[in-house]
Structure 1
Amino acid sequence: MKRTARITLGLISLALSSAAFAQSINASAFFADPNPNWMNMQDDVGKVILQKTGVNLKAEYAIGDPDQKVNLLAASGQVPDLIAPKGAAGVLIDADAMLDLTDLINKYAPNIKKVIGKQLNRMKFSNKNQGIFFIPNNDTIGQIYFDNDAWFKLQLGALKEQKYPKVKTLKDYEKVIADYVKKHPKTSDGKPTIGLSLLADDWRFVISVTNPAFWATGGWDDGEWYIDPKTFKAVPHHFRPEEKEYFRWLNHMNDIGLLDKESFTQKYDQYLAKIASGRVVGLIDANWEIGDALNSLKAAGKFDQMYGRFPAVMKSGMKAAYNAPTGFRGGYGIGISKNAKDPVKLIKFLDFLSSDEGQVLINWGIEGKHYKVVNGKREFLPKYEELRKKDPAAFQRETGIGSYGMSLRYGDGVKDKTGNFYTTNFPDQILTNYTDAENAALKAYKVKFWGDLLPKASQFKPIPWAAAWSIPVPQDSALSEFWTKEQDITRKYIPKAILADPKDFDKIYDEMLDVMDKQLGKYSELQTQLVQDRLKLWGVLKK
C-alpha cells in the first residue's frame, strides 16, 4: 500500500514537473553591454529564475560595436525577443520592431510600477512618441552612491611607497607616477614599468581618452555634449576651453615619456592583460571597464598592484562632478520585440526580476545556500564571502549574482520591508570587499571609502535633463549621424594632438575645433531641441 502511494506521488510529481517544463519558453536576447561571466542560466540564480518564470534566456552579449549589431538586427528584421540596445534604441523604434509596453506594464507588471512610483513619465520614449518601449535597467531607483568611482587611478604600492601623498590635482597624480617609474623603471619580471596607459579601442575611446576631460575639469557626463545649464544649448564638450588644457596635459605626459606608447593601438584584451600583469602604475578609466583585470589582480594576490581612486582635477578650485545629481535618467533599458511569441510571459519575467523576491535573489542569491540571516541581517556564507572577495568573476559564474540586473530595480541604499538593503553595495559590505592594502591606504587618507574623497552631491545643483546621453535619438533625425562623424574627427585629431611635439599641440587641437564647427554645427541645434523636448516631457519646461 505504501509502495503504491509512493508510486502515485512520484507520478504526480513527474506530471507537475512536465507541466512546468511544457510551460517554459526559450527567449532570445541581445544585450549591448558585455557580460563575460554569463553562464546561460546554468548558475544557481539562473536556475531559480527559470523555475519561477518559465523563461530560459538564450542571450547574446555585445562583442565589438553594439550599435552596429543593433543596426544589423533592425535592418534584417531578426530582432530577438528581448533586447537592451543602449543608445541605438531609436533604430529599433523607427524600424517598428518594438512593442509599446504601456498596456503590458499596467496589466501584468505591478512590481515594475511599484519600483518606478510616480516617475512613469520618465520611461516614455520621447515628447513626440510617448510610448514605453524600454524598461530602464542602466539606472536604478533611489540610488545612494556610498563609494562612487573616480577615474584617476594609482597603484596602491606606489602610494604606499610614497607615504600616501595627497592626490587632488593632475599635478599630484603625475608626480606619483613619475616618482615611482623613476625608482622602478622595470617590474620584477624585467619588463618596463608603464606610467599611464589609456584605451582607445573602438567605442571605449570615449571612456578612457575623452570622457575624463570633463571629469577633470568640473564638467559632468552628458556623453559627447556639453549642455549649458542656463540656456540648455548643446555643443560638443571638446569646445570647453578647460578640456583643451586637459588634452595638453596628456600631450605633456607623452612628451616626458610617462604615457604608454601603445595607448592608441592596443586592443581591449591586451589592455586588460597589461593591467593584470601589474605593470601599469596609473589608469584613467571606469572600474566597470577594467573589472576583469582588477578581478585577476585580486585572484592572483597582487593587492599592491590594485588601485586607489582619486577625483583629480586640472587645478585647485575645480570640483569633480561624479556625484552631480541627475535623478532617475530613464533612457537605456530592455524591451520586448514584436517578434516575441509570448510578450505576456516576458513582461512577467521582467516583473519578477523587479519584485522584492527577485531583487533579493539577483543581488544575494539563495537563502541557506549563498547567504543567511543573522540577527535580522543578511550576510553571505563564509565560502561565498571569501570567493566574492578573492575572485569576483568566479563568484558571479557560480552563483549568478550580478548577471540578472536586467529589469527596473532599486539602487544602493534602498531597504526592503525586512530592513535589509536590496543590494550588496552598502557600507558594511563595501568594507568587507576592501583588501588589506586598500584599507591601509584609506586609513592613511582618513576616509572609510574611496568615494569619500569625491565632492558630495550637495555641492552641485541637480541636472534637470538628467544626462544628454540617455535621451533616445530618433533614427529619422539627422542627429543619428552625429556619433559617427564626431568620432571620425576626434579619433583622428585627439591622438594626433596628444602624441605631437608640444609646440604643435595648439595648431592640431584648434584645427579639430574648426573642423567640428564646420561639420557638426547643425547637430548642436538638433541636440538642443532633444534636451528641451525632454524637459517639456518631464514638466521642467512648458510645452
Structure 2
Amino acid sequence: MAGKWLKRIMIPLSVVSLATATACGGSSDPTQTETSDVSTPITISFFGSDASPTWNNMKDDVGQAITKATNVTINAEYDVSGGGTQKIALMTASGEYPDTIFPKGSITKLVEAGALIDLTDLINKYGPNIKKVYGNDLSRLQYSKDDPSIYVIPTNAGVGEAKFDAGGGFELQHQVMKELGYPKIKTVKDFENVLKEYKEKHPTINGQPTIPLTLNADDWKIMITVTNPAFLATGAPDDGEFYINPETYEAQLHYKRPEEKEYFRWLNHMYNEGLLDPETFTQKNDQYLSKIASGRVLGLIDQDWDYQQAENSLKTSGMSERTYGHYPLQLDDSTKDRSFQDIGPPVGYGIGITTSAKDPIRIIKFLDWMASDEAQVLNNWGIEGKHYEVKDGKRVIPADVQERKINDNTNFTKESGIGMYNFSVHYGDSVKDSTGNYYTTNFPEQILASYSQPEKDALKAYGATTWKDLFPAKDEFPVKAWGAAYNLPSPDDPSYNVAYQKSQDIVRKRIPEAILAKPDQFDSIYDQMVSELSTDEMKKMEASYSQLIKDTVELWGTNKK
C-alpha cells in the first residue's frame, strides 16, 4: 500500500516539473500558474483502446470546428483489436506514453506504472464545465478507497443518462419475424424455434447458405457475444467477469452459477443442431461483420455497436429488412433482463493525462471545453445550418441528413465527425440543455425518425414504440450500490492480475470447448472448468474483488454523506 501512496505523492511532482518548463511565470505549481496561451495551436497525442473505423484525422466537419474553436489538433491512434492491452503493456515497459489515453480496462496497469497524473487539482482550477456536468458526484471519480486520486475523466457513458432505446439483447432480422407472423418470443427456446423454422424455409439467402446464428469470439469480443449473455439471459446484471451478491457484496466468477451452465448447455445444443455457425470460434471480427453484411445471418446475440458497421452496409445495400430488432430473452421465464438496471452516475472507463504530457494545463482546458454545452451540441448534432436547423427554438435534423444517417452512416460519420469526439465527461441521453433541447440526438422523436420501415413494422407488431419498450424498466430493480463493477479499477493486489489472467485463459479455452463438444461430453468439460476456477488462487482473487466492491460501496456512501 505504501507504494501506491508514494506514486500519489510523486506524480504531481512530475507534473510540476513539466509545467515549469513551459510556464510564463516562475511558479512551480501547475494549478497556480497559466502555462500556455489557448490561442496558440497545439497538437495533443491520444491513444484509444477501442477501434474507431470512422476516425478521419479531424478532417471531418466537427473536427475542423473543434480545432478552430480551441486551436487543438488531436493526433489519435486507435487499437484495432485487443482492447488496448498489448499496446499499453508495451507503453508501460518502455515508459513512453501519448499525452492522453483512453486505457479502458488497463487503468490499473498505468497507475501502477506511475503513468497517469492526478487530475484533482487541475479539474478544481481549470475544469468548471467538468465540475458542472458531474456536480456533487465528482468524488465518485476517485480511484479507490486508499488512493483518492482522479486518474481518468469518464467518457464512455453520459451523466444523467436514461436511455430511450435498447441496443443489446438477442437480435433477429425483421424479415424473419415478419414472415413468421411476428411470433411471441420470451425465451432462448423461442429464439431457437424461430431460427430453425426460417432456415428450413430458406436454406439460402442471396445465393449463399443461411446462417441461423453466429457469434463474435475474436479476442476480447468473446465476452460481448458469448460469455456476457450467460448472465444477462439468467437474470444477473452486467458486472464483467463476476457475479456480485447484492446482499453481501461477495463476488465470484459468474461462470460458477448453475444457471449459466444451462445457458452454455443451450449453446452446445444449438451447435449440435446445426443452428450455431461452426466458424464462431475461428472467424475474425471482419469475417463476422462480412457475414452479417451479406444478409444471410438470421440472429445475433450482441450489442449494436459491435455489428453496426455491417448493419450500415445492409442499409446502404437496400436490405433494411435484413437488419435486426432487439429482444430481452431469458433462459426461462423465471428471470428478467437487467440491461436497464440503474448503476448511478457513470464512473470508470475514461480519458487520462499521462506523465509524458508537457502541458497538462492546456490539455485539461481542452477537455473542459469538450465538456461545455457548445462542444457537446457540436459533437452530438454537428454544424448548425449543415447537419441541423433551429426551428421555433428546437433543433431539427433535415430529412436528407437523416436519410444519410440511416442508410449511409459510415460515410456520413467520416465526413461529419458527429459522435466521434467524446473526449470528456458529457451528459447522456434524456438530459436537456438550457434551451430545452436534448444534448444528444437519441431521444424519442429522433429515434423514431431513424427507424427504417421494416423496423417500425416490427415494433408496431409487438405493441412497442422503441426497442426499450420490450425490456424491463429500471424501476423494476434497485439501484446498484457499486455501480458497474467492470468499470472499477482492479484490486490493489499483485497476485490478483495473475490469477485473473489465468481465469480468462481457462474460460476462453473451456467455454468454446464445451459449446463445440458432443452433448454427452458437455458436463465433464464444464465441470472441469469450474474446478479450475475454484482453486485457492482463484478464491483469493475473488476475495480481493469482493473487498474492492465493499470498499467502493463504503467510499461512495461516505462521500455522499
Name the TM tier (shorter chain): over 0.9
CA drift at 1:395: 1.4
Residue 491 in structure 1 maps to residue 513 in structure 2: no
> Residue in 1 aligned with 2:93?
75
> Residue in 2 aligned with 1:379?
396
Residue 196 in structure 1 maps to residue 207 in structure 2: no
Residue 360 in structure 1 maps to residue 377 in structure 2: yes
* Cα 1:21–1:319 shift into 2, 3 Å: closer
CA drift at 1:21: 10
Map of 1:417-436 to 2, 5 A cutoff?
417-436=434-453
Residue 23 in structure 1 maps to residue 40 in structure 2: yes
> Residue in 2 aligned with 1:165?
183
| Cα shift readout 1:91-149 (whole Å, capped 9, x = no counterpart) | 11111111111111111110000000000111111111101110001121110111122
Please point out which of 47, 53, 56 is paired with 1:36.
53
> Residue in 2 aligned with 1:449?
466
* Cα 1:524–1:474 shift into 2, 3 Å: closer
Question: Could you tell me how far apart the structure 2 residues matched to 1:22 and 1:530 are?
Answer: 44
SS for the counterpart of 1:419 is coil
Does the CA contact (< 8 Å) of 2:159 and 2:346 recur in 1?
no
> Residue in 1 aligned with 2:419?
402
Amino acid paired to 2:126: Y
* Cα 1:445–1:210 shift into 2, 3 Å: same
Amino acid paired to 1:520: M
Residue 327 in structure 1 maps to residue 344 in structure 2: yes
Amino acid paired to 2:217: A
Structure 1 stretch displaced more, 487-496 or 419-428 = 487-496
CA drift at 1:357: 0.6
Please point out which of 89, 95, 103 is paired with 2:121.
103
* Cα 1:336–1:542 shift into 2, 3 Å: closer
CA drift at 1:178: 0.4
Does the CA contact (< 8 Å) of 1:87 and 1:472 recur in 2?
yes
Please point out which of 323, 336, 346 is paired with 2:363.
346
Map of 1:87-486 to 2, 5 A cutoff?
87-189=105-207, 191-473=208-490, 477-486=494-503
SS for the counterpart of 1:517 is coil
Amino acid paired to 1:229: P
> Residue in 2 aligned with 1:9?
none
| Cα shift readout 1:188-241 (whole Å, capped 9, x = no counterpart) | 31x210111011110111111100001100011000000001110010000111
> Residue in 2 aligned with 1:506?
523
Amino acid paired to 1:450: W
Structure 2: gaps of 5 or more residues: 1-35
| Cα shift readout 1:326-360 (whole Å, capped 9, x = no counterpart) | 11131111011111111111111111111011100
Residue 539 in structure 1 maps to residue 553 in structure 2: no
Amino acid paired to 1:104: L
Amino acid paired to 1:218: G
CA drift at 1:475: 6.5
Structure 1: gaps of 5 or more residues: 1-18
Structure 1 stretch displaced more, 518-527 or 32-41 = 518-527
Question: Could you tell me how far apart the structure 1 residues matched to 2:69 and 2:347 are?
Answer: 27
Does the CA contact (< 8 Å) of 1:121 and 1:537 recur in 2?
no
Does the CA contact (< 8 Å) of 2:225 and 2:302 recur in 1?
yes
Question: Could you tell me how far apart the structure 1 residues matched to 2:330 and 2:291 are?
Answer: 26
Q: TM-score, normalised by structure 1?
A: 0.94
* Cα 1:178–1:299 shift into 2, 3 Å: same
Amino acid paired to 1:59: A
| Cα shift readout 1:6-50 (whole Å, capped 9, x = no counterpart) | xxxxxxxxxxxxx99971111110011111000111111111111
Share of identical aligned residues, percent?
A: 50
Q: TM-score, normalised by structure 2?
A: 0.91
* Cα 1:24–1:474 shift into 2, 3 Å: farther
Question: Could you tell me how far apart the structure 2 residues matched to 1:85 and 1:408 are?
Answer: 15
Question: Could you tell me how far apart the structure 1 residues matched to 2:278 and 2:470 are?
Answer: 30
Question: Could you tell me how far apart the structure 1 residues matched to 2:76 and 2:493 are?
Answer: 29
SS for the counterpart of 1:281 is strand
Question: Could you tell me how far apart the structure 2 residues matched to 1:162 and 1:98 are?
Answer: 55
CA drift at 1:389: 1.2
CA drift at 1:483: 3.6
CA drift at 1:542: 12
Does the CA contact (< 8 Å) of 2:145 and 2:551 recur in 1?
yes
CA drift at 1:317: 2.5
SS for the counterpart of 1:271 is helix
Question: Could you tell me how far apart the structure 2 residues matched to 1:418 and 1:542 are?
Answer: 30
| Cα shift readout 1:481-531 (whole Å, capped 9, x = no counterpart) | 244211210111111111111111111111110111015221001101111
Structure 1 stretch displaced more, 434-443 or 61-70 = 61-70
Does the CA contact (< 8 Å) of 1:225 and 1:236 recur in 2?
yes
> Residue in 2 aligned with 1:10?
none
Does the CA contact (< 8 Å) of 1:197 and 1:260 recur in 2?
yes
Question: Could you tell me how far apart the structure 1 residues matched to 2:228 and 2:51 are?
Answer: 20
Amino acid paired to 2:446: Q
CA drift at 1:374: 1.0
Structure 1 stretch displaced more, 320-329 or 448-457 = 320-329
Does the CA contact (< 8 Å) of 1:186 and 1:192 recur in 2?
yes
CA drift at 1:182: 0.6
SS for the counterpart of 2:401 is helix
Does the CA contact (< 8 Å) of 1:27 and 1:82 recur in 2?
yes
Does the CA contact (< 8 Å) of 2:214 and 2:277 recur in 1?
yes
Amino acid paired to 1:380: I
Question: Could you tell me how far apart the structure 2 residues matched to 1:185 and 1:263 are?
Answer: 19
> Residue in 1 aligned with 2:6?
none
Please point out which of 103, 108, 114 is paired with 1:85.
103
Structure 1 stretch displaced more, 173-182 or 378-387 = 378-387
Question: Could you tell me how far apart the structure 2 residues matched to 1:452 and 1:417 are?
Answer: 28
* Cα 1:230–1:541 shift into 2, 3 Å: farther
Question: Could you tell me how far apart the structure 2 residues matched to 1:142 and 1:222 are?
Answer: 20
